[in-house]
């Protein structure tokens, strides 16, 4: 065991990334390759969703595991939904009841992950990603604006 190892909370308190330090987590500029352990439709969801989040500037390296879980869980939910759609409706069937229960649990967890990743408008608004970036005024721009306002005020007086 390392004697001088610090806990995550101690690192955050010293100004490291995390909630206690208040440091912002930098968004990824490019989507890293998908993990080899996810295949097929889940890989497609991972890549597509990841590219969208990178373009929005809200995907951090720490979110990649959550994105992987989202892709896998979404594929699972789609397979359950397809299987339920193929089955004739029988309200007394234990298999359908169990599958509906799994579907509800998967849907609930998907909503939570979507909220955490910022995949819905409300989550993006809470992250501050709903507003377009504002341009900063340079000193020359501020001087020009002042001159326009002074000129407008003088023309109103005349």
Judge contact between 79 and 100, C-beta under 8 A: no
Distances from the Cα of 156 to the Cα of 150, 152, 153, angstroms: 10, 6, 5
Averages of pLDDT over each 10 residues, the chain, 158 residues: 51 48 62 90 93 86 92 94 87 85 93 89 70 59 83 83
Domain parsing of the chain, residue ranges: 25-130
CA distance 10 to 6: 6
Given this model, what pLDDT does residue 77 score? 94
The one-character DSSP state at 129 is -
Angle CA(50)–CA(54)–CA(56) in degrees, nearest 5?
A: 120
* Tokens standing for residue 136: 């900063």
The pTM assigned to this predicted structure is 0.62
């Amino acid at each position: 065991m390392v004697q001088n190892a610090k806990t995550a909370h101690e690192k955050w308190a010293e100004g490291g990334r995390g909630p206690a330090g208040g440091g912002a987590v930098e968004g990824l500029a490019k989507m890293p390759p998908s993990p080899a352990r996810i295949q097929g439709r889940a890989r497609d969801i991972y890549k597509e969703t990841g590219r969208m989040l990178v373009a929005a500037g809200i995907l951090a390296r720490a979110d990649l595991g959550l994105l992987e879980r989202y892709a896998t869980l979404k594929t699972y939910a789609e397979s359950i939904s397809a299987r339920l759609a193929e089955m004739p409706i029988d309200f007394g069937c234990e298999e359908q009841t169990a599958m509906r229960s799994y579907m509800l649990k998967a849907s609930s967890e998907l909503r939570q992950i979507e909220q955490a990743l910022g995949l819905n408008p409300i989550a993006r608004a809470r992250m501050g990603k709903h507003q377009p970036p504002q341009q900063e005024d340079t000193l020359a721009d501020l001087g020009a604006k002042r001159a326009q306002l002074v000129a407008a005020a003088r023309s109103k007086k005349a």
